[in-house]
Amino acid sequence: MELIDHHCHPVVLAALERPEFEGLLNEAAGPAAGTSLFDSMLGLAIRRWCAPVLGLAPNADPDEYLHRRRDLGPEASRRLLAEAGLTHLLVDTGIADPRLCDLDQLSGLAGARTYEVLRLETLVESLLAAGTDVVDLPGQVERTLRDTTAVAAKSIAAYRVGLDLPDRKPAEPALVAALSRCRAAGRTRRLADPVVSGWLAWTALEAGLPLQLHTGLGDADLDLHRADPLLLTPFLRATEALGPAVLLLHSYPFQRSAGYLSQVYGHVFCDVGLAVHNTGAFSATVIRELLEVAPFGKVLFSTDAYGLAELFLVGSFLFRRGLALVLGELTAAGELDPADAERITGMITSENARRVYRL
């Protein structure tokens, strides 16, 4: 079965001690004093579903699990990634974490074809770091986006300025002025300017690239109430005619709102990526809530795995199981034909992604 993970990241192959592993386990900086992130729905899911893949009993003790993981070395990641059953990975390559493997390594470990997703903020920050004149920058970005082999662009505007992106493209002089201000203030390594974010989002769509947008939960430097996908409404209404898709990632706890946006705007798609592994055994509820009003042709699958191969396995296993559970209950109740259930599964796990990204 084809399984397209339309948003993920590379993994760390080096041996990890418990604090570093827990630091990658979810979005916290690390566990609070006296607590462990293994004591969470995600922690339980790793103990339950990853331990057997490493040859341990289900629900293995965290220390035993990490000991075994270190003993196996990169083989642990290979086993977990292979077991995830992914066939295509769309990889956000924009996080400069030297611990991460490269795309070829990831492809080999997963036995999957990889595609690049270009992170817009990283592109501009790199150009500024390389000394590009701010006057030349718009043209260079436009050329890069037009010539890229990446299958999509991604924006983390949610982290930097919030999701109230503008309902028209900022003019180039306004962009140049904003970049000049950022450079003068020494704020070019973490661009947080609404004109810059707005211009990038518009420019990616105009270049014909599908645009992935982080929405909903994330890590500690996110203001979650500014990452509500509903804040995108004016931007979505204004960009519908441009053509390329806008893909709302994660969305939790706003997944119902993301589903609604995907219903009323033809170019909007949604997933519950990161929320699936984060909510562990409870994730079927999150998937069901997304499907309440999102048309099945607008829903995609992603793991948003980062750093740990466990997140690929848990994310893909729980999504497939949750979707099968939700559709299976409908089928058992006679609300859905088995053939339609199979067809809808195919749409969500691969066909929608194939269509959106032209894979």
CB of residue 277 to a copy of itself, shortest distance in Å: 10
Q: Is 215 helix (H, G, I), strand (E, B) or coil?
A: strand
What is the smallest separation between the CB atom of 314 and a copy of itself, expressed in angstroms? 12
Please, how many CA atoms are within 13 Å of residue 223, restricted to the half-sphere of its CB? 10
297 part of the interface to a copy of itself, by CB under 8 A? yes
Residues 32-91 contacting a copy of itself, CB under 8 A:
32-37, 39-41, 44-45, 48, 58-59
Structure tokens at 227: 């990452």
- Helix (H) and strand (E) counts for the chain? 17, 7
Stretch that binds a copy of itself, among 10-18, 179-187, 196-204, 277-285 (CB under 8 A): 277-285
Residues numbered 10-29 forming contacts with a copy of itself, rule: CB under 8 A: 26-29
Identity of the residue, 124 or 231, whose beta carbon is nearer to a copy of itself in the bound complex:
231
Residue 335 CB, shortest distance to a copy of itself, in Å, is 4
Separation between Cα atoms, residue 271 and residue 265, nearest integer Å = 15
Q: Which residues contact 81 (CB under 8 A, 6 or more apart)?
A: 11, 106, 109, 110, 111, 309, 312, 313
Closest distance of CB 229 from a copy of itself, Å: 9
User: Coil, strand, or helix at residue 121?
Assistant: helix
Q: Which of residues 229-258 bind a copy of itself (CB under 8 A)?
A: 230-231, 233-234, 237, 252-253, 256-257
Residue placing its CB nearer to a copy of itself in the complex, 9 or 267: 267
Q: What would the x/- binding string for a copy of itself be over residues 310 to 349, using CB under 8 A?
A: --------------------x--xxxxx--x---x--x--
d(CA 277, CA 292): 20
Total site size for a copy of itself, rule CB under 8 A: 72
Distance, in Å, from the CA atom of 117 to the CA atom of 125, rounded to the nearest integer, reads 16
